[in-house]
Amino acid sequence: MNGIMMQYFEWNLPDDGNFWKKLKEDAKHLSEIGVTAVWIPPACKATGTNDVGYGIYDLWDLGEFDQKGSVRTKYGTKQELIDAINELHAHKIGVYFDAVMNHKAGADRTEKFMAREVNPDNREQRTSDPYEIEGWTGFDFPARADKYSDFKWHWYHFTGTDFNQANGKTAVYQILGQNKDWADNVDSEHGNYDYLMYADIDFDHPEVIEEMKRWGAWVAKELNLDGFRLDAIKHINDQYMKHFLDAVRAERGQDFYAVGEYWKPDKASLDEYLAAVQYKTDLFDVPLHFNLFQASEQGKDYDLQNILNDSLVKTHPALSVTFVDNHDSQWGSSLQSQVQSWFKPQAYALILLMNVGYPCIFYGDYYRLGDRESPHRLIIDILLSARKKYAYGEQRDYFDHPRTVGFVRMGDDEHPGSGLALLISNGENGNKVMNVGEHRKGEVWREYTGNVKSEVTIDEQGNGNFLVEGGNVAVWVKKDA
């Protein structure tokens, strides 16, 4: 099946509580364009309704309790979320929940404990002696009144924090105590990248491990979820993540889906992570995203023959979620690396029409960023249509020119008329002779996006001389298919 995920949010959505209702209304359309799963924004109660959801306060509050100034989250109430999920399921669309487990924010009270300051650029380097600080680490959730969970969070459930209420100082504080240290099984950036933000959860603490596994199984069942998008996993003990997924799948079945966000363009780090968690999760193909970003930045100076080099989809095609942009890469985010607009059609053509990877479309590229409508919706719709009708069968690559590359999909018997020839260009007008099979001799092919008006007749050997406009994309299919 040609599955397609959509990341159904971006940073600048309105704080009006209507988003779950909008998602419900959009379910039929999403199904019609071929979307088979949506990754929804973080649905738990955050620091306030103006929080996208990554400033996580209470994992057990899905928009049900009057906490942090409202019952609803930024996106709506728990019942509205359930209604949206039911509607998506009615249209055979899976739902992936954004699980934010690395940290907690918006504590109910401060606590005093021993800590030391560390160098933010090298967390293994201590910059102070141990001393007592007053940190925001007490989470009681009084309005929830122990419904679903009676667990209360204290300083010893965290490894670090970033603010000392006693003197108003902001720093990276390593919390000290029995058996407390930065996690071993995390990314080595900054010496040790256990600490990211807010109060950092200690995934070596047995009480934390059990509470979080219980929550994962509960939320998956409570909302009838089909999978998780795992946030910030390079900051979380990889062995915890493996056991967490085992616990959830014990309740929900082994086909419960997971994709992790390991934001690093270094494929070796992603390979190591996959091995460490015994390949229990997919990963977003961050190296491919950065290839697409560099290609868009460098224009005709980028060698398109290298576009898939060192990407996850090349070495782990069954575990790679391919994407062009997301909320982390969009302009204004802390990790901004947004693919330039001119190259978006080529990038989406690549991920949607090739025979490997699980492509993810970004809400901002399809609908809008803030109040600005996306200029790419039409071309993405065309490419989605091409994927559904034609993108089947063996793939033969023609990555043999620095400014014009392409591939052929040979089609299969299950989809009559399927098969296509893709060309992408980052420079001048281009052409490429590609073989679509001797059995196609005499067929007339047309260009599906409308960018090229001429037609191509397949010769006796099954070759066609396919054209592409400079800096554009061309998708060639059988004319009367």
* Closest among 406, 393, 268 to 346, alpha carbons compared: 406
Q: What is the spatial distance between Cα 268 and Cα 290, in angstroms, rounded to a whole number?
A: 15
Q: What is the pLDDT of residues 6-35, one digit of tens each?
A: 999 999 999 999 999 999 999 999 999 999
461, two tokens: 């050997």
CATH match for 5-102+206-390 among 3.90.920.20, 3.40.640.10, 3.20.20.80, 1.20.120.160: 3.20.20.80
Burial 66-87 (b: 16+ CB within 10 A, else e): ebbebbbbbbbbbebbbbbbeb
Alpha-carbon distance 342 to 324, whole Å? 13
160 phi/psi in degrees, rounded to 5: -165, 165
Residue 328 pLDDT exceeds 90: no
Mean pLDDT (whole number) for 237-263: 95
- Candidates 152, 159, 210, 154; CA nearest to 180 is 159
Do 5 and 359 form a contact (C-beta atoms < 8 A)?
yes
* Tokens at 114, concatenated: 């021993």
Average pLDDT, the chain: 95
CA 217 to chain centroid, in Å, comes to: 21
The amino acid at 76: G
CA 334 to CA 284: how far, in whole Å? 18
Task: Assign 132 a pLDDT band (cuts: 50, 70, 90).
Answer: very high
Residues of the chain with CATH 2.60.40.1180: 395-478
Q: What is the mean pLDDT of residues 145-161?
A: 97
Distance CA 460, CA 481 (A): 20
Three-state SS letters, the chain: CCCCEEECCCCCCCCCCCHHHHHHHHHHHHHHHCCCEEECCCCCEECCCCCCCCCEEECCCCCCCCECCECCECCECHHHHHHHHHHHHHCCCEEEEEECCCEECCCCEEEEEEEEEEECCEEEEECCCCEEEEEEEEECCCCCCCCCCCCCECHHHEEEEEEECCCCEEEEEEECCCCCCCCCCCCCCCCCCCCCCCEEECCCCHHHHHHHHHHHHHHHHHCCCCEEEECCHHHCCHHHHHHHHHHHHHHHCCCCEEEECCCCCCHHHHHHHHHHCCCCCEEECHHHHHHHHHHHHHHHHCCHHHCCCCCHHHHCHHHEECECCCCCCCCCCCCCCCCCHHHHHHHHHHHHHCCCCCCEEEHHHHCEECCEECCCHHHHHHHHHHHHHHCCCCEEEECCCCCEEEEEECCCCCCCCCCEEEEEECCCCEEEEEECCHHHCCCEEEECCCCCCCCEECCCCCEEEEEECCCCEEEEEECCC
In the numeric block, which tokens belong to residue 460? 């006796």
Cα–Cα distance measured from residue 214 to residue 203, given in angstroms and rounded to the nearest whole number: 14
pLDDT greater than 70 at residue 1 = no
Residues of the chain with CATH 2.40.30.140: 104-201
Residue 338 has pLDDT above 80, yes or no: yes
Mean pLDDT across the stretch 172-184? 94
Active-site annotation, residues: 231, 261
Residue 432: pLDDT band (50, 70, 90) is very high
Residue 480's pLDDT band (boundaries 50, 70, 90)? confident
The fold of the 104-201 domain, in CATH, is Elongation Factor Tu (Ef-tu); domain 3 (2.40.30)
Asked whether the whole model's pTM tops 0.85, one would answer yes
pLDDT tens for 216-235 read 999 999 999 999 999 999 99
- Residue among 306, 292, 268 nearest 351 (CA): 292
- Residue 206 has a pLDDT of 95
Neighbouring CB atoms inside 10 A of 391's CB total 24
Extract the tokens encoding 241.
Answer: 């993540």
Which pLDDT tens digit goes with each residue over 42-63? Answer: 999 999 999 999 999 999 999 9
Give CATH for domain 395-478. 2.60.40.1180
Residue 381 is predicted with a pLDDT of 97
Give the range among 197-211, 317-331, 366-380, 426-440 with minimum mean pLDDT.
317-331
Copy the structure tokens of residue 18. 């209507």
Strands 463-468 and 430-435: antiparallel
Within 10 A of 170 (CB to CB), how many other CB atoms are there?
8
Q: Report the percentage of the chain scoring pLDDT > 70.
A: 99
Mean pLDDT of 400-422: 95
From residue 401, how far is each of 3, 152, 427 by CA, in Å?
30, 60, 11
Q: How confident is residue 331, by pLDDT bands cut at 50, 70 and 90?
A: confident
